Structure 1
Amino acid sequence: MNNPSQDPDEIARDRIGARESSPPPETGLYVVATPIGNLRDITLRALDILGGVNRVYAEDTRVARKLMDAYGLKPRLAAYHEHNAEAAREEILDALGRGESVALISDAGTPLVSDPGFKLARAVIEAGHRVFPIPGASASLAALVVSGLPSDRFLFAGFLPNKQGARKATLTELADIDATLILYESGPRLAESLADMVEVLGARSAAVARELTKMFEETRRDTLDALAAHYAEAGGPRGEIVVVIGPPHAKGEVSEEALDAFLLKALPRGVKDAAAEAARDLGVPRKRAYQRALELKDRA
């Protein structure tokens, strides 16, 4: 029961959205999360917004139409993707200038995550219009919560580069971050990427989650080296894939003598590789290992 002394406005705020449909959308851009697999993961508010805005921009209108048809929605649909983003942004800004309401959706999950939508949000804000978040499904967060890895501090790093050299360079930048890492990957590249992760990050605890919320949902948890070996043998799996990697292993303080001994053995493979191995295996900061490897090399 409500407290009789409670202010009516407070009661209304407590109940906002609980029993009544959302009010008609006002002028602005609504960034709407859509299901990543199971269509019942759409929110009631998202349905209200998608059914009420003047127009909906989608990554792929064919994919969007399936969602709309499932719930009997018939919005005015248009495409917004990396190939037409510049022209579509002008259309959207013109519509907002006329006082219209516009929704943005991706094929699955939350827009602006690993897609060009952030440029649209920025342009809308700069033009003086409001951006409304309509939260919901997210593959990165879904994978994090089923991974069994620390979730108090994490970094979403999106897709790694396609080429191996650039991929290793990116992993090197991520190696010293004291947080769980969340990455997207494709099936054909998964085994190769996992092998690079082992080389740069070491045998950290990790999880590979695929087809989340779908019929063939699977989460495989192991160390990176074991996962790399499994997918090298099994081949690339189908479906949308998220790789979750635990933070660096906590290790005690490494003395200068121990670091020097390790680096001297590794230096024949080069300063950069020696430093990377020391950071991975001893847990020392990469900058410290690299600087010391340079000093040892100059003395040789």
Structure 2
Amino acid sequence: MRAATGFRSRVAALALAALALAGCAPAAERAQVVVTTNVLGDITREIIGDQAPVSVLMKPNADPHSFGVSAQQAAQFERADLVIANGLGLEEGVARNIDAAAQAGVPTLAVGEHVDPLQYAQDESAGAPDPHFWTDPLRVARAVDVIARHVVEHVDGVDPAAVRANAERYRGEVEALHATISEQFAAIPPERRTLVTNHHVFGYLAQRYDFEVIGAVIPSGTTLASPSASDLAGLAEQITTEGVPAIFADTSQPDRLARALAEQAGVRVRIVPLFSESLSRPGEGAATYLEMTTHNANAIATALGG
């Protein structure tokens, strides 16, 4: 009799343990912080460290203007403690999901709105906010502080001191990278500091490091637009006049248009791939924000250095 009672007790104990584990599973698996782009995802993980789980929606080598989310990913917005987005019109494919989360009361941070955003100065997007602030490391350094503050305020269970220490360390790394890039670009002759890109993506870099953006193959701030024949002809003429040595095309986008433009210009123009919109997979040259920015700076300095 006692053996039967002991058996039932052990079964009951195991059942209670299983229920306890089942009850803990959703909390453990829940992404407390949901980040839209992989650039901000990497920065956010550096800041949070092991303090909370982070879910990054955008895959490596994706285009932030066109990527979308699955139903499962969309549901993460509703369960998050904090949603971190680039904002300024970048995430065109998930804008409604971000808006729905904000309307449901989920704390939502549009980082670009807090880093002194620029407006596009030319072509189809003139006057609209430019979302590509990550091409300026000093604005990213400012974004680090903004993200850290929101994490401390909204994410349950984090150690504020640990988050702030991570942010201070990482901000120092970003500022050190800015100093290195400044030296690299200072060696480029002023007359060669001209940029032609696949679309308008380097306005912040140009402002920070004294470059001139002559134009873009796609005369817009989004990769979803298309150039006309007259757009290409006008830019080709300008490239010829200015003696532009290189066109910088994003690695996540085909460079067919850039090559067509180079042929139309009738001059030898290098097509230089940059990781301007997205991080890459590990081992491909831009797996982190710091690696991406270093790669781009090296490529630009090499192509324009003369």
More strand by share: 1
Structure in which a larger fraction of residues adopt helix: 2
**Normalising by structure 1, what TM-score?**
0.29
TM-score, length of structure 2 as denominator length: 0.29
